[in-house]
Structure 1
Amino acid sequence: MYELQTKETDNSVIEFIEQVDSPKKREDAYRLLDIFAETSGFEAKMWGPSIIGFGAYHYKYATGHEGDAPLVGFSPRKAKISLYFAPGEKKREELLKVFGKHTTGKACVYINKVADINEDVLKEMINESITFLTEMYPNK
C-alpha cells in the first residue's frame, strides 16, 4: 500500500534551517519563517525531511487516497526556494502576476531569493491558500 512520505515530524525547524549550506538562503529561510508564521497564525512544523509547514488539513480524494498536509509551507532547497500553496486556489494566477520573479509547478512556486518577490503579495497568497483549503477540507 502507498504510504505518504510527507508527514508532520517532531524534528526541529531551527536545526533544519541551520543546516542550509548557503548563508543567504538560510537568512531567507528565517525571513520566510517569520512571514509564514505571522501571516498564518500557525506554529512552524517539519513535514518530512525538508518542508517547513504551517497548519494542517486532511484531504480525501474521490479515488479513496487520503492524508494530511500542511496548509502552506516552504522549503529552502539547494537550487531554489519552494513555496507551497493550495493547487486550484482561484486568485493564485492573478496574484502571481504581481508577485515578482518566480517559476511555478503544480502546487509549488519557486523563487531564488526573498528580495525577488513582493512580501505583501506573499502574505495574500498565504491567506488565500489557507482560506481555500479550510473551506474545501473543513475537517481538521
Structure 2
Amino acid sequence: MDNTVAAFLDGVTPAKRARDARTLVELFQRVTGLEPELHGTIVGFGTYHYRYDSGREGDAAASAFAPRKAATSIYLPDGVGAHATALGQLGPHTTGVGCLYIKDLEQVDLAVLEGILAESFARVSAGSHYTQRAREGSEES
C-alpha cells in the first residue's frame, strides 16, 4: 500500500470505518492481486473498460470501496442483482443499484463478501470491455 492510500486511511472517521477500511484493503488485495490506488475518496483496485450500446465508454475501477461516515460503500460494477443469493447470506447491509453499503464489517460474513468481490472482479475484468450497466446486472449468472 502506497503512502497516499495509507495517509487517506489514517484520516478516515469514525474509528470503526477506518478499521473496516484497513480490513477491506487486505481483502480486495487478496481477491484482485493488485495494490490499492486512491481515486479521490475511493480506494480502487485495477481498472476495466466499459462500452455501452449507447456509445458511452470509459474506464473505471474494477473493484473499489469508499469509507463514508454513514457506511462503507462497496462498488459492484456488475450490479447488486448479480449477487442476490450471496447477499442473502452476507449479513446486515443495504444496497443501491451498483453499491453495497455496510455499517460494520464485523457483522458480515467475510467469506461471502470475498466471494461476491471475486465474482464481480472476474466478470468486469474478463474480455476487452464490459458492456452491462450496473442496473442491468439483475440476474445471477
Q: TM-score, normalised by structure 1?
A: 0.84
Higher relative contact order (CA 8 A, sep 6+): 2
- 2:53 alignment partner AA: A
- RMSD (Å), alpha carbons: 2.0
Runs of at least 5 residues in structure 1 that lack an aligned partner in the other structure: 1-9
In structure 2, the partner of 1:124 is 115
Q: Is the 8 A contact 1:89 1:132 kept in 2?
A: no
Q: Distance in 2 between matches of 1:57 and 1:130?
A: 9
Could you tell me the percent identity over the aligned residues?
Answer: 36
**Is 10-19 or 71-80 further displaced after alignment?**
10-19
User: Where does structure 1 differ by over 2 angstroms across 4 or more consecutive aligned residues?
Assistant: 86-91, 137-140
The alignment status of 1:63 with 2:54, answered yes or no, reads yes
Runs of at least 5 residues in structure 2 that lack an aligned partner in the other structure: 131-141
In structure 2, the partner of 1:78 is 69
Q: TM-score, normalised by structure 2?
A: 0.83
* Structure 1 residue 117: Cα displacement: 0.8
Specify which structure has the higher proportion of helix: 2
Q: Distance in 2 between matches of 1:88 and 1:20?
A: 26
CA spacing shift, 1:91–1:65, aligned 2, 3 Å? closer
- 1:15 alignment partner AA: A
